[in-house]
Amino acid sequence: MKADPVLSRRQWSLTALACVACRRRRGTGFPGYALVASAYSPSVAAVNLATFSLAAKIEAPAPVCALQSHPGRPCGWALASEPATVMELDTARLRVTRRLSVGRLASGMHLSAGGELLWVLCRKPPQLVGV
């Protein structure tokens, strides 16, 4: 007659400890922010990517139609289409540092290949502005 295998407290504790040690490590998240704009809201939301929570709401004079980030500096730009206003955003402090009016109606912006010029395409008056 064989006895049923019974785990002792020591065996049970070691088994539980081994299971906990072999589990998947928890992710740390991405250290940074995502800038999110809506075509109907006059603000830019900064989302903390480590916690996926709203870090700041940056007010704009009009709804933002385009966002652009600088690849080498902690800054970005937001373009409000009407009136055509370019806002420089400090992504470290999450606030607007500078504003520049470039026309009455803008349709888009693009950073040059070297990162030294920001090109803004305006509809009224029809022009391409280098900032």
- The domains located in the chain, with CATH, are 29-130 (2.40.128)
SS3 112: coil
> What is the rounded (10 degree) CA torsion for 109, 115, 117, 119?
-20
User: Over the range 22-36, which residues count as b (16 or more CB within 10 Å of their CB) and which as e?
Assistant: eeeeeeeeeeebebe
Spatial distance between the Cα atoms of 5 and 107, rounded to a whole number of angstroms: 75
Residues 6+ apart with CB under 8 A from 23: none
Q: pLDDT tens-digit profile of 19-44?
A: 777 777 777 778 888 999 988 889 99
Q: pLDDT tens-digit profile of 66-122?
A: 999 888 888 899 999 888 899 999 988 999 999 999 989 988 999 998 888 999 999
pLDDT at position 47 over 90 = yes
